[in-house]
Amino acid sequence: MTPSKNPVGIDAIAFAGPQCYLDMRDLAAARKIDPDKFTKGLGQEQMAVATPCEDTVTLAAKAAQATLKNFDIDPSEIGTLIVGTETGVDHAKPVAVYVHEILGLPSNCRTFETKHACFGGMAGVGTSADWIASGRARGRKALIIASDIARYGIGTAGEPTQGAGAVALVIGQNPRLMNLHLNCIGDYTRQVMDFWRPLYSKYAFADGHYSIQCYLDALEGALADAKSQVDDPHTLNTDSMEACFYHVPFVKMALKAHRRHVELQHDVMNDKALNESYAQRVAPWLTLNATVGNIYTGSIFLALIDFLRRLDPSSEGKNTSFFAYGSGCGASYSAGQVADNAAAWRHLVDPAAQLAARRRLTVEEYERLMHEDEHADDNEATHSDPTRWQLDGDLFYLGTHNHQRVYGGMPKAHMKRAG
């Protein structure tokens, strides 16, 4: 993989999550399950829980605001806005157009939503990188936001793998953080019923163990396609990578994925080598996934943020791999290269303070919130009160009026129209 002279890649990134979380030990106690199953068996410590006032729009907008502000990018520089989500707020109107208004983006910005389960965010990154590489961007950048609220329901096998949050990325030329190798992207698609959410359901349905198998098959297929595009397939081996990023529905899944990745390049599996490779290239960047949970489209980028916030200058110029998976299923295997001087920006991407400020919910509060949310969209006039959940800030979903969603903290013009 030869770096391009005018590389396209990730210029800025930020995470925004809900203000409350549930501790996995509290959940295990309430479900009468050994807590080690959640913490060691799945690898999860906490999961972010969105209150009724925090939806896919507010999470997306907060992540995007932080990205533009922290990296000093003016809204006028954005020519494409894509929100990848599988938990949108309307059957027709995209989350992206609310975000477009909140950020004050230019009217000649192409704005839309992508859906393919957890693959929607990476699909947006690939599409926008091609747009920039083609020259059609005319110097402008793309803003991609992966925003979701993952819910399986109380007492289900998927319950400990819930989560919520958004990651916003700016894709541009000569990026500050990560160059993307656009000449090597492996794709994989196959119709499978491993995880889905019917139109009538707030909760996802999953054939959990089958979904793990589908994920691993997709990794094999996408990697094979990527290898067919490079002169030397060994350049995509795990040992050629400084870090390997996977879609992380729960932390243990990244270990299963890395095992398969290593298996595919060696005839004989060596447990010691696998463990060392995992400890060096994957595990260090899974601490945010363990404390936020599955954020669907954004999960792979949460691992990337964890890597970037602790980036050592010695990693600059080195390659990384990305395996993005969306149930149903669609996947891609691609590679990046840490940009020169990327470590200089690491302090801008760290969400540690935001996570430390979260409020720990009791299981009773969490269950009440889940029951309320289950029926929140049954009727036209619902109203959410941020003070009830002790939330800070001013950008909240407040309910519907005249069949329109109402947000606190939106520009005045929108509030007038909605009210």
Which residues are tagged catalytic?
Answer: 86, 118, 247
Give 100 or 247: the residue with its C-beta nearer to ligand HMG.
247
Task: Count residues binding ligand HMG (CB under 6 A).
Answer: 31
Shortest Å, Cβ 51 to ligand HMG: 22
Give 37 or 401: the residue with its C-beta nearer to ligand HMG.
37
Per CB under 6 A, 45 contacts ligand HMG: no
CA distance 245 to 234: 18
User: At 262, which helix (H) or strand (E)?
Assistant: helix 251-263
CA distance 209 to 173: 41
Reference 97, options 37, 145, 129, 151; nearest CA is 145
Region for residue 251 given its phi and psi (left: phi exceeds 0; alpha: psi -120 to 50; beta: otherwise): alpha
Shortest Å, Cβ 215 to ligand HMG: 4
Q: Which residues contact 234 (CB under 8 A, 6 or more apart)?
A: 240, 265
From residue 56 to residue 95, the character string flagging contacts with ligand HMG as x (rule: CB under 6 A) and all else as - is ------------------------------x---------
Per CB under 6 A, 209 contacts ligand HMG: yes
Q: Which of 206, 222, 302, 342 binds ligand HMG (CB under 6 A)?
A: 206
Listed ranges 121-129, 246-254, 307-315, 360-368: which one lies at the site for ligand HMG (CB under 6 A) = 246-254
User: At 56, which helix (H) or strand (E)?
Assistant: helix 56-70
From residue 151 to residue 190, the character string flagging contacts with ligand HMG as x (rule: CB under 6 A) and all else as - is ------xx-xx-----------------------------
Per CB under 6 A, 249 contacts ligand HMG: yes
Give 79 or 124: the residue with its C-beta nearer to ligand HMG.
124
Helices then strands, counting H and E runs in the chain, come out as 13, 16
From residue 15 to residue 44, the character string flagging contacts with ligand HMG as x (rule: CB under 6 A) and all else as - is -------------------x-xx--xxx--
* C-alpha dihedral sign at 182, 217, 308, 13: positive
Report the DSSP pairing between strands 163-173 and 195-196: unpaired
Q: Which of 140, 227, 247, 405 binds ligand HMG (CB under 6 A)?
A: 247
CA distance 120 to 18: 21
Shortest Å, Cβ 282 to ligand HMG: 15
- State which amino acid sits at residue 338: V
CA distance 15 to 301: 9
Near ligand HMG in 304-323, by CB under 6 A: none
- State which amino acid sits at residue 132: I
Please tell me the total number of residues recorded for the chain in this structure.
419
Q: Which of 75, 153, 208, 409 binds ligand HMG (CB under 6 A)?
A: 208
Reference 305, options 69, 86, 2, 10; nearest CA is 10
Shortest Å, Cβ 161 to ligand HMG: 4
Shortest Å, Cβ 265 to ligand HMG: 22
CA distance 382 to 250: 33
Q: Can you name the residues that pair with 81 across neighbouring β-strands?
A: 111, 143
∠ Cα 339 324 296 (to 5°):
110
- State which amino acid sits at residue 148: D
Shortest Å, Cβ 182 to ligand HMG: 24
Shortest Å, Cβ 385 to ligand HMG: 30
Residue number with the smallest Cβ distance to ligand HMG: 41
CA distance 97 to 99: 5
CA distance 211 to 196: 10
Q: Which of 10, 81, 117, 244 binds ligand HMG (CB under 6 A)?
A: 117
Per CB under 6 A, 252 contacts ligand HMG: yes
∠ Cα 326 329 331 (to 5°):
60
Listed ranges 1-9, 72-80, 250-258, 272-280: which one lies at the site for ligand HMG (CB under 6 A) = 250-258
Shortest Å, Cβ 11 to ligand HMG: 26
Q: Which residues bind ligand HMG (CB under 6 A)?
A: 34, 36-37, 40-42, 86, 117-118, 157-158, 160-161, 194-195, 206, 208-209, 211-212, 215, 247, 249-250, 252-253, 294, 296, 325-327
